[in-house]
Chain A
């Protein structure tokens, strides 16, 4: 008897859930259709989809990116939109997961009918979305993917970041000749693609220039205990520590080094750019961390200056590389659409590929024949008095 009642409850609950979920499905669909109707009355706004995480482990890159994108869209609309049409951003959180970004990219393309997607900051995630974008003939413009094999996916795929393969040889050259550092230690963040892809670039450049790698080690992104690695490093006799991961771990590595009495400069890529580096590292990173990137708030470029002022006014915080690159990405897309006099991705993508010397807020961008961006100059940035400080600008030598 009791069993019977229980299972009847089970059936009821099960039925209720199914109905609720189906209702959710259909109401969503209705909402989507409602949106479509609303769009018609607005006479088709140009839609741009945001790719990035606002929760989860890589939310630190997505959140500022989203802000930069929002600001760019508002700026565009204040100037009258693109080709007289209003611009609209669609924002979903991909949590930094592959299956999520694939779903979101599909949703953007088929339901929101975006003409282009901006993002993702991570190389791997960008590849997933790029494949979908290419197959559906929608432009994807990554504002952060520095690894290889991104634009090769197809002619709808673009990015605007300083590529490591162009920057690293110049940076290594600077380390060896301007600084006289000959013995290198390299630490890799084992569980992030960005880092495992950047490490070989450094290894090759160091080998090619005749430097010596005295110790190689790995850490895991997201951990806090690096005591063993630092103790090892202390006994290795390196002049400089090349760290290819992100800023959080860089700050923690330097914290630990300071505690163990190890005085060494840490150098890395633009993954080290984030204000948390300073917040977390405090005096341990003071003039002890150098990174290279295509963006510096100390650049005297008027575009950058105006962008920083406006950003600080609006969000009450300093912009970072991702906000600047997302901002640029939207603006470059707008320029391409305006110049091509079309919002059809198949048309404006060709205009986009011809971009030359675009003076963006994150540096000058030119697309090479293979659509790889060349950004120049490289800014070497350090931390001074609790602020990012432009140490030196070095030109990019592209072979």
Chain B
């Protein structure tokens, strides 16, 4: 733990601080996936693959090539974005569950690659990664990403993303370049995946390929869908719930995963479109505004 965090720990329990940092990282990762799956509607079940690329690349760059923290993070994210671009290309031909399978396969290939990757320590993993990530950096980056995401989704391009999700053919017929935008969504989403991975590896001190398995991808997907597809507040809420729920459920000890599984089912039954399905920040503002008007009238 470094200086700034040490100062914070005087006021916050380090245990909560740790959870808050992980929450920040999860929000960044989930927002990336939200862009691909939530907003553009391209089901990706391999987000942990991008995360591992970012985590390994940035860790190796800062450990062995003396990159500065920021440069390592950006480089890791850029490499992940490049692979996101590559995975985006098959979306031209594939859709729905076929695409999901390609993303699963891609993440598995990446995992197997790192299991055989000598500089990454194979299954032993990579340890001794400098711990640069702290509360301030994570949340500064997270807030920045949230702000950029909000702006993006409000823009013309953001609406085009939503249009692709709702109906690709209709979107194309209104002159939206669906091919370019889908690849763009994948690239941007995996950039955030790589960024989150870099933050993670520079926080955890130690990473190994099993950290980024299929279950991690599923966990991230849960965050996006549970909170509400395509909604930024929803994704944040989903990350919040799924980062904290396991901690809260620690009381029930070995029944924890039982409750976790049941929680997913129950939440989906009662809120089938996610807790904040398609609620956007500016929608909320509008809605509260309208409500005020209503009360005035009555």
A contacts B directly (C-beta below 8 A): yes
| Residues A98 and B208 in contact, CB atoms below 8 Å apart | yes
| Residues A107 and B204 in contact, CB atoms below 8 Å apart | no
* A313-351 interface (Cβ within 8 A of B): none
| Residues A190 and B211 in contact, CB atoms below 8 Å apart | no
| Residues A110 and B15 in contact, CB atoms below 8 Å apart | yes
Which residue of chain A has the shortest Cβ distance to B257 in the bound complex? A55
| Residues A98 and B206 in contact, CB atoms below 8 Å apart | yes
Q: Do A14 and B275 form a contact, CB below 8 Å, given A29-B13, A103-B18?
A: yes
| Residues A110 and B123 in contact, CB atoms below 8 Å apart | no
Q: Do A93 and B15 form a contact, CB below 8 Å, given A98-B206, A102-B204, A128-B205?
A: no
Write out, one digit per residue, whether chain B residues 249-268 have a CB within 8 A of any chain A CB (1) or not (0).
01001101100000000000
| Residues B254 and A21 in contact, CB atoms below 8 Å apart | no
Complex CA gap A18/B125 in Å reads 37
Question: Distance (Å) between the CB of B58 and the closest chain A CB?
Answer: 16
Which residue of chain A has the shortest Cβ distance to B18 in the bound complex? A106
CB within 8 A of A55: which of B209, B254, B270, B277? Answer: B254
CB within 8 A of B206: which of A13, A25, A54, A131? Answer: A131
| Residues B15 and A191 in contact, CB atoms below 8 Å apart | no
Q: Which 7 A-B pairs have the closest CB atoms?
A: A193-B124, A196-B123, A24-B248, A110-B14, A196-B122, A128-B206, A193-B123
Which residue of chain B has the shortest Cβ distance to A135 in the bound complex? B1
Complex CA gap A97/B240 in Å reads 20
Q: Do A123 and B124 form a contact, CB below 8 Å, given A17-B241, A21-B248, A54-B254?
A: yes
| Residues B123 and A13 in contact, CB atoms below 8 Å apart | no
Residues of B within 8 A of A135 (CB): 1
Residues of A within 8 A of B1 (CB): 135
Complex CA gap A190/B209 in Å reads 11
Question: Distance (Å) between the CB of A398 and the closest chain B CB?
Answer: 23
Complex CA gap A111/B16 in Å reads 10
CB within 8 A of A21: which of B18, B22, B125, B244? Answer: B244
Complex CA gap A135/B237 in Å reads 33
Which residue of chain B has the shortest Cβ distance to A111 in the bound complex? B15
| Residues A124 and B253 in contact, CB atoms below 8 Å apart | no
Between-chain CB contacts (< 8 Å), 26 pairs: A7-B287, A10-B279, A14-B237, A14-B276, A17-B275, A21-B241, A21-B244, A21-B248, A24-B244, A24-B248, A92-B250, A98-B208, A98-B211, A99-B204, A103-B15, A106-B14, A110-B9, A110-B13, A124-B127, A124-B208, A127-B127, A127-B205, A189-B123, A190-B122, A196-B122, A197-B124
| Residues A191 and B276 in contact, CB atoms below 8 Å apart | no
Residues of A within 8 A of B171 (CB): none
Which residue of chain B has the shortest Cβ distance to A22 in the bound complex? B244
Write out, one digit per residue, whether chain A residues 108-146 have a CB within 8 A of any chain B CB (1) or not (0).
011100000000000110011001000100000000000
Residues of B within 8 A of A123 (CB): 124
Known: A10-B271, A131-B205, A195-B123. 17 other contacts (CB 8 A): A10-B279, A21-B244, A21-B248, A55-B256, A55-B257, A93-B254, A99-B22, A102-B205, A103-B18, A103-B247, A106-B15, A110-B13, A124-B124, A128-B205, A147-B124, A190-B122, A190-B123
Residues of A within 8 A of B254 (CB): 54-55, 93
| Residues A103 and B122 in contact, CB atoms below 8 Å apart | no
**In this assembly, does B210 line the interface, its C-beta being within 8 Å of a C-beta of chain A?**
yes
A-B contact count (CB 8 A): 106
**In this assembly, does B141 line the interface, its C-beta being within 8 Å of a C-beta of chain A?**
no
**In this assembly, does B115 line the interface, its C-beta being within 8 Å of a C-beta of chain A?**
yes
Complex CA gap A127/B270 in Å reads 42
Complex CA gap A97/B200 in Å reads 14
**In this assembly, does B207 line the interface, its C-beta being within 8 Å of a C-beta of chain A?**
yes
* B215-237 interface (Cβ within 8 A of A): 228, 237
Which residue of chain A has the shortest Cβ distance to B278 in the bound complex? A7
Question: Distance (Å) between the CB of A284 and the closest chain B CB?
Answer: 26
**In this assembly, does B181 line the interface, its C-beta being within 8 Å of a C-beta of chain A?**
no
Question: Distance (Å) between the CB of B279 and the closest chain A CB?
Answer: 6
**In this assembly, does B89 line the interface, its C-beta being within 8 Å of a C-beta of chain A?**
no
**In this assembly, does B19 line the interface, its C-beta being within 8 Å of a C-beta of chain A?**
yes
| Residues A102 and B275 in contact, CB atoms below 8 Å apart | no
* A44-101 interface (Cβ within 8 A of B): 54-55, 92-93, 97-99
Complex CA gap A107/B204 in Å reads 15
CB within 8 A of A102: which of B9, B18, B240, B245? Answer: B18
Write out, one digit per residue, whether chain B residues 123-158 have a CB within 8 A of any chain A CB (1) or not (0).
111010000000000000000000000000000000
**In this assembly, does A201 line the interface, its C-beta being within 8 Å of a C-beta of chain B?**
no
Residues of A within 8 A of B205 (CB): 102, 127-128, 131
Complex CA gap A208/B236 in Å reads 57
**In this assembly, does A192 line the interface, its C-beta being within 8 Å of a C-beta of chain B?**
yes
Question: Distance (Å) between the CB of A201 and the closest chain B CB?
Answer: 12
| Residues A10 and B275 in contact, CB atoms below 8 Å apart | yes
**In this assembly, does A149 line the interface, its C-beta being within 8 Å of a C-beta of chain B?**
yes
Residues of A within 8 A of B116 (CB): 190
Complex CA gap A106/B205 in Å reads 14
Residues of A within 8 A of B9 (CB): 110
Residues of B within 8 A of A147 (CB): 124
| Residues A7 and B279 in contact, CB atoms below 8 Å apart | yes
Residues of A within 8 A of B125 (CB): 124, 193
Residues of A within 8 A of B257 (CB): 55
Residues of A within 8 A of B277 (CB): 10
Residues of B within 8 A of A127 (CB): 127, 205-206
Question: Distance (Å) between the CB of B259 and the closest chain A CB?
Answer: 13
| Residues B208 and A190 in contact, CB atoms below 8 Å apart | no
Q: Do A149 and B204 form a contact, CB below 8 Å, given A14-B237, A14-B275, A111-B15?
A: no
CB within 8 A of B210: which of A4, A21, A191? Answer: A191
Complex CA gap A127/B124 in Å reads 10
Complex CA gap A121/B287 in Å reads 54
Question: Distance (Å) between the CB of A152 and the closest chain B CB?
Answer: 9
Complex CA gap A25/B241 in Å reads 12
Residues of B within 8 A of A189 (CB): 123
Question: Distance (Å) between the CB of B125 and the closest chain A CB?
Answer: 5
Residues of B within 8 A of A196 (CB): 122-124
